[in-house]
Amino acid sequence: MNVTAMPFRPEVHEELIINGTTYSIAPHPQSPNYPFAQEGGRATVYRIDSLHASKALKVFKQMYRTSQVSITATRLSQYATLTGLGVCNREVLAPSASGEAPLGEADLEWSVLMPWIEGATWYDILIETDERKRNIDLPTMRTVVQKFLNILLEMELNAVTHCDLSPGNILVRFWPPEVDLIDVEEICATGVPMPEILPKGTPGYTHRSASDGLWHPYADRFAGAILLCEMICWSDEEFRQQVHGDSFFDPDELQEDTPRYQLMRHTLTQLGGSELAKLFEQCWYSEHLSDTPAFWEWARGMQEYFRKVVSIQPPIQEKLQAQLAHTLNEVQVRLKLPEVKSDANTRAAYQRIQQRLNYDMSKLLGGTASPPILQSTPRIDVKKPPTGNTPPIVSQVARAGVMNWRRLGFVVGSTAVSVAIAGFVVFGLLANQTENRLILPQIVVTILPNNETLTPSYTIEPTITQTSEPTVVPTDTMVPATAVPVIVPTRVRSTPTPVPPTVPLPTDTAVPLPTDTAVPLPTDTAVPLPTDTAVPNPQSQPQPKPANPTAAPIG
């Protein structure tokens, strides 16, 4: 067994022979004396070049070097043809049967060789200090948004969830616009094993109910929606100036009524109409991830932003059920492991996940069961008006009257008893009095307990009135945005209605479920995108074209 004692620290232009192909470590474009590498939370990615192509070599840290990397890579290969998931096409450098490390390097055990994708991460764009590079014109950003939305739609259609959507895992190219996802080891799909360490999201993009882990069909909905809204609003200068840092929102202000929330909602209304702003509001105030809008609903609400009618196909319910059933089965298997049984906190976390997924399955199948009360989710008690045949307000007045009479009787009775006792005492004193002197009358004050009130108050839920909106039938100028031409009628406003930056009350309306109509599976070909015609804006000033963003390795 020939294993190098030193850690893997390659030099620039150092050669590696992998499966008969010679690769060399590429230099960093800004620092030619250093390897082109980027270190992440779980691995370091190196760019290696051959005569024919460039590859990415992902070297995992010690705790992530397990045989599960090979199992996951084999299962992920079937999704390599989906839009934006080219990194699922990968090779794993496993140890030999005798235990010899690949290339004699212990650090290369279970490392992954995959395609190299040029581009800058969305994280690089968020933290960019040069405003010339940050300022991307609206037509270009509209195309980027459509590329990203198509990836989310195709994954949703095929029951695939990334589970770790974040700015650092999205590669963006602006000229021409392209988007790819990276860091796909934690994908949730039928047949893919559950990762040993569940992802818990990225600060600034994590839903309040995700503290126990994200690995289920709804894991992408909140983070994907926030990233989508960031891209939509990015062409607005005021919006760009309010970025918190690594994300637009401060992690502590998520799902709260804050100035940044109001700014994003206002910008979405200006660029995409009130329908888009309502979807964002529903997502922002959702109690659980399964209550947030699906991505096909976002596509339906973004017709005004794209300025065209988009062909939309809801996901197939049978595929979603199969993915959810697979997730539940993986959780049940994990609960039987000895290390989980012996750790009370870990076992409780998996049990909470199981309870929530059971409720999601019941809701998906049309059940009416109430959601479980989970310790990880704060419970909100809502006061409801009394029920019965008597109108609520009349019932409250009647009950208040009865309680007032009862308390009044208690006061009168207490006063009478006190007076009687006082009289008895005075009478005794007079009987025993030997001298003739004036006796002043006693004043008896009866004090009610502090927790008694004469006029109890009640909380009445306000009535929410919904106004119907006109529905416009799509015209024949329909441009498909997905591979399957199934059209769902959409609502399109003739003119956008501005919405003032106020916070409406969150509603408990459940997200509409997809229909059971079976549709053919999408082909492996790329989703055709409608051409985007830039709309001139006489008030905008021409912006200088920024230089190509620095290429970033995939992860």
Query: How many angstroms separate the CA atoms of 424 and 442, rounded?
Result: 12
Rounded Cα distance, 309 and 490, in Å: 8
Nearest to 304 by CA among 327, 275, 343: 275
Q: What is the pLDDT of residues 38-63, one digit of tens each?
A: 888 889 999 999 998 999 999 999 98
Please name which of 308, 228, 311 lies closest in space to residue 267, comparing C-alpha atoms: 228
Q: What one-character-per-residue DSSP string does 460-521 give?
A: -PPP-PPPP-------S--EE-SSS---------SS-----S--PPP--PPPPPPP----PP
Q: Is 46 in a helix, a strand, or coil?
A: strand
Instruction: Give the length of the chain.
Output: 555
- The Cα 44–Cα 416 span in angstroms is 86
Identify the helix (H) or strand (E) that includes residue 327: helix 317-335
E strands, 164-302, where?
170-174, 177-181, 188-189
- Cβ proximity of 340 and 351 under 8 Å: no
Q: Which of 538, 250, 252 is nearest to 264 (CA)?
A: 250
More confident residue, 227 or 369: 227
Residues of the chain with CATH 3.30.200: 15-115
Q: Which of 534, 81, 512 is nearest to 312 (CA)?
A: 512
The secondary element (H helix, E strand) that includes residue 345 is helix 344-364
Distance CA 259, CA 270 (A): 16
Fold of 120-370+477-535: Transferase(Phosphotransferase); domain 1 (1.10.510)
Residue 521, CA atoms < 13 Å, CB-side half-sphere: 8
Judged by DSSP in three states, 169 sits in helix
Q: What is the sign of the dihedral through the CA atoms of 409, 410, 413 and 414?
A: negative
For residue 488, what are its two tokens?
Answer: 């769902």
What separation, in Å, do the N-terminal and C-terminal C-alpha atoms of the chain show?
A: 30
Within a 10 A sphere around the Cβ of 371, how many other Cβ atoms?
16
Question: Which pLDDT value is given to residue 312?
Answer: 87
37, 174, 158: which is closest to 88 by C-alpha? 158
Q: Are 328 and 357 in contact, with CB atoms under 8 Å apart?
A: yes
pLDDT exceeds cutoff 80 at 217 = yes
pLDDT at site 6: 61
CATH 3.10.450 fits 15-115, yes or no: no
User: Mind giving me the DSSP string for 110-154?
Assistant: TEEEEE----EEHHHHHH---HHHH---HHHHHHHHHHHHHHHHH
Task: Say if residues 303 and 490 touch (Cβ distance below 8 Å).
Answer: yes
Q: Tell me if 204 sits within 8 A of 250, measured CB to CB.
A: yes
Is-contact 48 25, C-beta < 8 A? yes
Find the mean pLDDT for residues 92-97. 93
Decide the pairing of beta strands 479-480 and 310-311. parallel
In three-state secondary structure terms, 290 is helix
Helical (H) or strand (E) element with 426: helix 392-431
Cα–Cα dist 261/170, whole Å: 23
pLDDT of residue 371: 65
User: What is the pLDDT of the chain when averaged over all its residues?
Assistant: 76
Domain with CATH 1.10.510.10 in the chain: 120-370+477-535
| Backbone phi and psi for residue 34, each to the nearest 5 degrees, phi listed first | -120, 150
Q: Categorize the per-residue pLDDT at 369 as very low, low, confident or very high, splitting at 50, 70 and 90.
A: low
The sign of the torsion formed by the CA atoms of 320, 322, 323, 325 equals: positive
Which H or E run contains 16? Answer: strand 15-18
Locus of tokens 């990194």: 87
More confident residue, 474 or 341: 341
- pLDDT tens-digit map of 244-288: 999 999 999 999 999 999 999 999 999 999 999 999 999 999 999
Confidence of residue 181 (pLDDT cuts 50, 70, 90): very high
Q: Is the pLDDT of residue 359 over 90?
A: yes
DSSP 8-state symbol, 108:
G
Note whether 77 and 117 are within 8 A (CB): no
Q: Residue 20: helix, strand or coil by DSSP? A: coil
CA 293 from centroid of its chain's CA atoms? 10
The three-state secondary structure class of 167 is helix
Contact between 124 and 189 under an 8 Å Cβ cutoff? The reply is: no
pLDDT digits (tens, 9 = 90+) for 439-495: 333 333 333 343 333 333 333 333 333 334 444 444 443 334 334 343 434 444 444
Specify the higher pLDDT residue, 32 or 311: 32
Q: Is the pTM of this model over 0.75?
A: no
What value does the mean pLDDT take over residues 128-146?
A: 93
Contact 4, 105 (CB under 8 A): yes
Given a cut of 90, whether residue 353 has pLDDT beyond it is yes
